[in-house]
Amino acid sequence: MAHDTLRFSRASVDRAGRTLLSEAPSPEAIESAWDALANWRSIHAFPLNTVTMDLRQKVRRVAPGALVVQRLKRARSILSKLAKESSMRLTQMQDVGGCRAVVETIEQVYALRDQYKKSRSLHEIVTEDDYIAAPKQSGYRSLHLIYRFRSMGHPQYNKLMFEVQLRTRTQHAWATAVETVGAVIGQALKASEGERKWLAYFQNAALALEYSESHARAPNREVTRGVLARTLLEIGKQLEVQKKLSGYRSALRATESQGSKTAAYFLLVLMPDQQQLQIKSFSRNQAEEAYKEYELYERQLPLNPPGKQLTLFSELSDYSGAQAVLVGADSLRSIRESYPNYYLDTEVFLKKVDDFVRRYRRAA
């Protein structure tokens, strides 16, 4: 992406975050705050490319063919995080820029982690959050590394923080299924907020998939595989999980812009209520154009939905659940595998859960 530079003081950036969360800021204050937030996020773009290239190199040694993608955090996700963590300042946020590797096994996750620990790079691993060993309450499992950027050639980006996520395909299937359902029903299931039955379903599904991946080194859990399988079967029937999730994918209409075969950046705009996904492709040379269009969409999303939004785009003007994200990836195919939630695609997740239930529902 473009080599942007910081045009605001850090104090101004932090103030922008607070302004966008305040109850009744003036239109002028909102516009100024958006400018500061967008600039702060955009300065992460160039160093994020470097961080992602480093991840790709490590993946080639450990898990050739693994999925690797990068993204700048969505504005609404940034503001949601600031709202939940009132003491956090925008300039302290560690995952404004992030990249992810999706590998086959848990062993490969830790082998990648070890590659970082052994690295002689100028960049520095600051924090390791192992949500595989200690899952989140929602059931989320992944390994996160917080990465501090350092460069002799580009010192203006030094000390910016990035998040590197390492997860298995099974963990990825669960995480994207949660986001898919959350997007469709308008609930933050990922943050353990929403309908209790859906939260319970995904908590149990996460444990079932952990059992499936762990094999000989079975997790030290009190609930047996049999009880877990029967619980998933019962809740799944009550929620009509198979019917609903399969229906989401079948009903979605995806439209792609021309040139996607040579693209390096993809702008995804999901409208679950209208069952539409728009995909706009940009070449590596169009990085600045891609970012500007991404920002244009985000500025039209309301800070406090529901309500009318995206007035520049008539087809979205009455929808309050739209999502937009700009992703850097090798191909459109890797986007579909890395972000199936934007395609409302939970096929891999459903199959893994169904396999577990069929195998263990009659077990003790």
The predicted structure's pLDDT at residue 188: 78
pLDDT digits (tens, 9 = 90+) for 252-280: 777 776 666 678 889 888 877 677 888 88
The predicted structure's pLDDT at residue 219: 57
The predicted structure's pLDDT at residue 8: 96
pLDDT digits (tens, 9 = 90+) for 78-128: 888 888 888 999 999 999 999 999 999 999 999 999 999 888 888 888 999
Q: Which residues of the chain have pLDDT under 50?
A: 1, 216-217, 305-320
pTM of the model: 0.87
Domains of the chain plus CATH, in order, are 1-169 (3.30.460.10)
How deeply is 218 buried, as exposed, middle or buried, from its count of CB atoms within 10 A (0-12, 13-18, 19+)? exposed
Report DSSP letters for 216-275, one per residue. Answer: TS----SS-HHHHHHHHHHHHHHHTHHHHHHHHHHH-EEEE-TTGGG-SEEEEEEEGGGT
Residue 126, H or E segment: strand 124-130
